[in-house]
Structure 1
């Protein structure tokens, strides 16, 4: 049975529970780290879901949730931009962008193109012109960043490390 993709703009309790189930499985090796704990992620998820332009795509193989991606709109003056090191290019944050907050696919479905399908479905009808994300440059020994580069993302800055998060690379690409 092919994986079915379901798009949501409201985080209902069943969708939230399914997403947290997938997150816990995908991030299992990191759950001992404070920033990766399910409770910390759930708090961020709820905050993002309450934000402007929230959208989520959840992939299901039958009744099993197997992957997800979600994000929301960030506009000029949003704290998203303030976390980045150094000044942004002139005019870079003058218009809304879609911030891809999280993407994850369970192990048995990795390498099948599902992450790209979920990503593309999430962006399919976005009104913003650009999408941004932040990635740990060491994730998967750099494979995750290279995957995003293959999808057309380019680095434009960094978010400095904090007590609970490593330095992240900020990446951007056109929505379409």
Structure 2
């Protein structure tokens, strides 16, 4: 890993002031996939707008020289949330039975990868939370499996699979203790 360049992490609990910056970073990070309906910026923008109104929304953005270079965001999910209902097999009650942080999306611009920036964003986001668990969904093919492996190295474990929408690939659902 390359030593992390100087970045500033900022936390936001509303979407209004950072929506455009998140969309810009997303478009750069997902550029090779934007032609696919699920990854199109408009589809992501619709998900982002919905997630931004859900309980416990929080986003952390990393800035270098006042320019956004990465982000992650999530929100609280409770017992019975549709997030849990779409997972097969049904997740253990210890996860789905208590509030959890659902890490909905994140990404770091190419030049900032392998610098520790993604981990710093992730850890800053978790530091704002009280939920006992954090969960995420990852495309197991992303980065030829490297993204999935990265989350495993951060302590996440596979608990099932989910296809959140017909346009979405089947995703691996992962979970870990939040602290």
Same fold (TM over 0.5): yes
Displaced runs of 4 or more, over 4 A: none
Q: Write the mapping of 1:1-16 to structure 2, written as runs, cut at 5 A.
A: 2-12=6-16, 14-16=17-19
Change beyond 3 A, Cα 1:87–1:127: same
Cα offset, 1:167, TM superposition: 1.1
Tell me the secondary structure at the aligned position of residue 122 of structure 1: helix
Q: Write the mapping of 1:65-104 to structure 2, written as runs, cut at 5 A.
A: 65-104=68-107
Tell me the secondary structure at the aligned position of residue 92 of structure 1: helix
Q: Which runs of 5+ in 2 are unaligned?
A: none
Cα offset, 1:87, TM superposition: 2.2
| 2:155 match | 152
| 1:32 match | 35
Change beyond 3 A, Cα 1:3–1:98: same
* TM-score, structure 1 as length reference: 0.95
Coordinate RMSD, CA, aligned: 1.3
Change beyond 3 A, Cα 1:102–1:160: closer
Tell me the secondary structure at the aligned position of residue 148 of structure 1: helix
Size of the alignment, in residue pairs? Answer: 175
2: CA distance between counterparts of 1:124 and 1:3? 17
* TM-score, structure 2 as length reference: 0.94
Query: Which of these residues, 52, 57, 63, is aligned with residue 54 of structure 1?
Result: 57
Asked if 1 retains the 8 angstrom alpha-carbon contact of 2:86 and 2:164, the reply is no
Asked if 2 retains the 8 angstrom alpha-carbon contact of 1:85 and 1:160, the reply is no
1:126 aligns with 2:134: no
Query: Which of these residues, 168, 172, 176, is aligned with residue 169 of structure 1?
Result: 172
Q: Which runs of 5+ in 1 are unaligned?
A: none
Moved more, 59-68 or 155-164: 155-164
Query: Which of these residues, 112, 116, 138, is aligned with residue 115 of structure 2?
Result: 112
Asked if 2 retains the 8 angstrom alpha-carbon contact of 1:48 and 1:72, the reply is yes
